[in-house]
Amino acid sequence: MCRDFSPHPGGAKRRNTARAIVGTRSHQGARLTLGEVIQERAPRTVFVNFDPPVTPGQTVTIGRSPVQNPRYSGIYLFGVTAFPPGEKSHGQFLGYGRFHFYGDGGSQMVFP
């Protein structure tokens, strides 16, 4: 799950396209199969379900298509929390990711 800083126009929920790979942008591995991907306007959250679940310790990169760029350039942070499979699982906060938006409309996604 990751917080999304840009609300989408329209309804409370919207299905969103996403893709995921094992590894990082510069060291790409196999493509992962995703289950349901849902974006909720309130509380501006994106749920990405992996089918099958990701192996613990595996580095995963998720790519999303933008809905709308922010009005102002700058650095936008989002939190990432992972939940194991199961009905009563507890989430583990993994850290923050960030997007850099520049005045010319360009952007760059950076993970610590």
Q: Strands across the sheet with 28-32, in order?
A: 28-32, 18-23, 60-64
When divided into structural domains, the chain yields a total of 1
Considering just the CA atoms, what is the radius of gyration of the chain in Å? 14
Whose tokens are 């893709």? That residue is 19
Whose tokens are 């917080």? That residue is 3
Confidence of residue 40 (pLDDT cuts 50, 70, 90): confident
pLDDT digits (tens, 9 = 90+) for 73-112: 899 899 999 988 888 889 999 999 888 888 755 455 555 4
Domain encompassing residue 64: 2-110
Contact in structure between 6 and 70 (CB atoms under 8 Å):
yes
